[in-house]
Amino acid sequence: MSWVTDSWMRLRSLLSQHDREGQIDDELSLHVEMLVRDLEARGVDPATARREANRRFGDVRVIRKELYSMENKRVDHERRATYFDELWQDLRYGTRQLLRNPMFTAIVIGTLAVGVGANTAVFSVFKGVFLDPLPYAQPDRLTYIWHGSTEGECCGPLSGPDFLDLRRMTETFEDIAVLSSRNTNITGDGDPVVVLGANITPTMFSVLGVQPVRGRSFTEDDELEDGHVVVLSDGLWHQRLGADPDIIGSAIELNRETYTVVGVLPPGFNVPSPWRINQMHDVYFPFAREDIDQGRSSHWLLAIGRLEPHVTLETGDAELKSLSKSLADQYPETNLTKTTYVHSMHDRLVGRAGTQLILLLSAAGFMLLIVCGNVASLLLTRATARQTEMAIRSAVGAGRTRIIRQLLTESMLLSLLGGVAGIALTFWAMTFLRASIPADLPRVANIGIDGAVLGFALGISILTGLVFGLAPALSASRTNLTESLKEGKGTPQSASRRNLLRGALVAAQFALALILANGAALMVQSYLEFRGRQQGFDPGNVLTVNVALQGERYDDAFARDDFLRQTIERIAAIPGVLAVGATSKLPLRGGTNGQVWIEDDPERLHDGQGPLVEFSRVSADYFDAMGIRLMAGRYLTADDTAAASPGTIINEVMANELWPDENPVGKRYSFRTDPPNWMTVVGVVQDVRQWGPYSRARAEHYLPYTAPGWASGYRMYLIVKTELDPLSLVAAVRQAVLTVDKDQPISEIRTMEGVLSDQFAGQRFNTMLVGIFAAIALMLVTAGVYGVVSFYVAQSTHEIGVRMALGAGRGRVLQLTILRGLKLAGAGAAIGVGGIFATTQVIRSLLFGASPVDIPTMLGGVAVLLAVAVLASIVPAHRAASVSPVTALRSE
Amino acid sequence: MTRLPWLRTRLTCIRGTMPKNTPELLKGTLDLLILKTLESGPMHGYAIARAIEEATEQALQIEEGSLYPALYRMTNRGLLRFEWGLSAANRRIKSYRLTARGRKRLKLETANWGQFTQAVARVLGEQPA
């Protein structure tokens, strides 16, 4: 289309619809009138002439309607074409502008990339962990069903009979199934390995809405007869069994017994247990009915329920509570204070992680806002430089909206380029994040960059483009035409307005940075505080491995004792090993507890409410290997087991709680009341934080694992204190175990340093991310102040010249300029302090108990910001102070 | 081969005043007639209708109103452009003229038309009347 016609079209498009239709009407009616006139001229009488004209013309209404719609369609089309033409123009022009200032462009794109990249990376974690629905059919109907007390204690496993009764009676649940995890040794061909197995009731897979992709699921028959059948995970089938296509019906040796494989599950499928985050169950065994139907007071089954369609969680919870009530009436001796709790599976698995990730996302969002402020400042500065250009544009007829659109197109272009660079940065950041993501963050495997994550990146890019582009565009479009063209630069009013805007932007960045830095500082403090705490043991150079003794061979306690004793002896003989011990549970990892009754307190012996204490089963050398100091009495010896009343070691908390102001050594206590099984305290050791570094130490006692009367020694951790790097001895330790039993695998190979470090992984991850965001924020703010003060100096060269001519010294100029930066920082800090108080509740959950408002930290933050402001102002201030008055005055 | 089918016009043969065997206008012919008519210079719609009438000696007659959709469409396609002037009776009147593109199209369509009619004539010539 030629340019002339093009413009014609465009001009026509500017007419209103009413005018366009008027023109069509005029044209058509003129035609008919001319026809009538010619006919009359030929002597036809007026009435006939009109009738004839109408006949020859055809139906005016139809034609008019057709033309109307043609015109309207054309105008729509033209408008769109114009819009895209202009957009294209703006894009080309914008690209040229960006290429003309490659430095500016690179800085802006780089800054944006950091903001977008950080947010996208955190979002991808948030999405993978929290937003994505759980990979089961209709996951919102899935729940965990817990045993709890009527006093509000919650979340223990169900007992078998309770589960069977609830399942039979419920009307709000489509089905309920239970699971009990257990370590399983794969024996037979190849090295023995430990995998996580689980006993399940036969409907577990259908409750989750998943069926084996090969073979079959369990049936009621499997539950009734001990058929030794298993269903395997896809992972195990691939890794251990080479994806053997004839696996169904073949035999597999587990715990030294032979099982028949009846099914293989789809890839990635797992029955999720909130106690075993990120651990896959690889082998599923069917529960035998009589295994479940035992002991109403023994709670050990993880229950998963699927609600009936359209039944809410609350309804299901209420129904099970009322069913529990009727069970309590029926079995008062066991169920009197029992009730059930129903929790959404999604909440339970990822709710807490989701909350923390939202906070991290907000920290990243704060940083993105600072990025926006920073880029907006840069654009404002550039807008000032481009004032003449804008003036010329508006002089040749560009309207204000047109100029705003052009500037917004430019910032969109920048933000999209920044977004693309940000996505590239995200890919890099993800490898870094993956390496530092805490192992206990749920659903780590589901984290990745997909369409939604890219969409998020695109979305925030566009949003940032609008946010940082709008203020400069509005400001630049408000140009006083004559003044600009005359002076070649802005009017004083527009300049001061722009300076105010720029100052406000920097102050806002300061405020945001202060909140972020304060949060980061608090998190670092809290982290260092917890990390520096005494845990009660010496983690240096300690190797731990788990041995889970399984199968008939170890049903005999003496066989287990034999195994452990021989293994410990062999490991102790390895060169470089200083001490070897064994324990049933590692420090910091939580544990098991029970009530005890003390001998000297007959009253408490009979009220049925003894104090609750933690207990571990240990070997005599455990304390030595773990570096747990003896405070009183002596360590365990082999004789302590043999004695009629076994010797035990207790910790200081237990000593103080049970025997305040007394020497506990030699005192006796029992687990049971009828008949009591007395144990004698032989020593007191320092407290170990059994429930993790964030909890205080609780009362705890250590029993020799060989002490009779308890089924113990099945699952023990070997603790190996070494001279040098503990991991260098793993092979030797494994060999020692295999020498004693060639089918016995070792697992959970860790150093105690690693076990300790894992406890802080979550806090470290959060602290690191917020710290990085805060550091970037401070750098951005420094750049922001530097920019504004430099610009101020450049703008007021004249003023400075006058001041110096009137006798102001260098020092005074320096002072004035730095004061300018300080004012911005001060205003920002004042707002930021308000922000800190406003966000206390938000940050609390990231601090693990530290106070969210810490005045010294806050003042420190303010001081840092003011220092940043001074530093950033020094360079431009020196520039100002070295202005020669003569040059300055002449430059006008 | 003909390029005519792209021109979709609304054309009817008007019976009654015409001899019974007045031929129906072929689809698309109207556009060609308009282009040809405007070759001599700018004209308003009414004048175009009269010129076609005269040139065809009323052998072809068109419903005059159907000229306008054709004119608008050809304008939109850039074959014609228009300007507003004053009629003899001092009324605003829209006159159409060929654009360079319209001129090119006319040449092409004329050639096509020649080929088309020859081809049809050849086919008809072979058949006994």
Could you tell me the domains of chain B? 4-126 (1.10.10.10)
CA distance A525 to A237: 47
Q: What is the pLDDT of residues A727-752, one digit of tens each?
A: 999 999 999 999 998 888 898 899 99
A10 touches chain B (CB under 8 A): no
- Is the per-residue pLDDT at A428 higher than 60? yes
**Ramachandran sector of residue A488 (left: φ over 0; alpha: ψ -120 to 50; beta: rest):** left
Residue A664 contacts residue A647 (beta carbons within 8 Å) = no
A683 DSSP β-pair partners: A633, A649
Angle between helices A60-100 and A102-126 (to 10 degrees): 110
Q: How far apart are the CA of A126 and the nearest CA of chain B, in angstroms?
A: 53
Give the mean model confidence (pLDDT) for residues A259-288. Answer: 91
ipTM for the whole complex: 0.79
- Say whether A737 sits in a helix, a strand or coil: helix
User: Exposure of B36 by Cβ count < 10 A (0-12 exposed, 13-18 middle, 19+ buried)?
Assistant: middle
- Say whether A714 sits in a helix, a strand or coil: coil
CA distance A486 to A777: 40
**A16-20, A575-579, A818-822: least confidently modelled range:** A16-20
Q: Give me the residue from A5, A63, A74 closest to B68, CB to CB.
A: A63
Nearest-CA neighbor of A144 among A302, A325, A271?
Answer: A302
Residue A685 contacts residue A587 (beta carbons within 8 Å) = no
CA distance A780 to A892: 33
Residues 6+ apart with CB under 8 A from A150: A337, A338, A339
Which pLDDT score is estimated for A607?
A: 47
CA distance B100 to A1: 10
User: Exposure of A293 by Cβ count < 10 A (0-12 exposed, 13-18 middle, 19+ buried)?
Assistant: middle
Residues 6+ apart with CB under 8 A from A729: A543, A574, A576, A577, A720, A722
- Is the per-residue pLDDT at B4 higher than 50? no
Give the mean model confidence (pLDDT) for residues A215-222. Answer: 87
Which pLDDT score is estimated for B5?
A: 37
CA distance A188 to A193: 10
A-chain residues near B79 (CB < 8 A): none
Question: Which amino acid, residue A845?
Answer: S
Q: What angle do CA A647, A648, A651 make, to 5 degrees?
A: 155
- Higher-pLDDT residue of A455, A86: A455
Residue A715 contacts residue A705 (beta carbons within 8 Å) = no
CA distance A518 to A524: 10
**A263-272, A513-522, A601-610: least confidently modelled range:** A601-610
Do strands A593-595 and A612-618 pair parallel, antiparallel, or not at all (unpaired)?
Answer: antiparallel
CA distance B51 to B35: 12
Q: What is the pLDDT of residues A824-861, one digit of tens each?
A: 888 988 999 988 888 877 777 777 766 777 888 888 88
Q: What is the pLDDT of residues A128-163, one digit of tens each?
A: 999 999 999 999 999 999 988 888 878 888 999 999
Q: Give me the residue from B63, B69, B91 closest to A67, CB to CB.
A: B69
Q: Cβ of B68 and A27 within 8 Å?
A: yes
How many residues in total does chain A contain? 892
State which H helix or E strand residue A83 sits in.
helix A60-100
Chain B residue with Cα closest to A62: B65
pLDDT band with cut points at 50, 70 and 90 for residue A311: very high
B90 touches chain A (CB under 8 A): no
pLDDT band with cut points at 50, 70 and 90 for residue B17: very low
The set of long-range contacts for A855-860, using a CB threshold of 8 Å and a minimum separation of 24, is A857/A518, A857/A521, A857/A522, A857/A525, A858/A518, A858/A833, A860/A521
- Integer-rounded Cα Rg, in Å, for chain B is 16
Q: What is the pLDDT of residues A445-493, one digit of tens each?
A: 888 899 999 999 999 999 988 888 888 788 777 765 555 555 544 455 5
Q: Give me the residue from A2, A34, A58 closest to B63, CB to CB.
A: A58
CA distance A95 to A110: 16
Mutate to test the interface with A, among B12, B62, B68, B92 (most CBs of A within 10 A): B68
Nearest-CA neighbor of A36 among A23, A26, A50?
Answer: A50
DSSP letters, A425-474, are HHHHHHHHHHHHS-TTSTTGGG----HHHHHHHHHHHHHHHHHHHHHHHH
- Is the per-residue pLDDT at A540 higher than 50? yes
pTM of the model: 0.76
Mutate to test the interface with B, among A10, A57, A64, A69 (most CBs of B within 10 A): A57
Q: How far apart are the CA of A24 and the nearest CA of chain B, in angstroms?
A: 9
- b/e A384-410 (16+ beta carbons within 10 angstroms → b): bebbeebbebbeeebeeeebbbbbbbb
B58 touches chain A (CB under 8 A): no
Phi, psi (5° rounding) for residue A852?
-70, -15
pLDDT band with cut points at 50, 70 and 90 for residue A426: very high
- Is the per-residue pLDDT at A890 higher than 60? yes
CA distance B32 to B9: 11
pLDDT band with cut points at 50, 70 and 90 for residue A382: confident
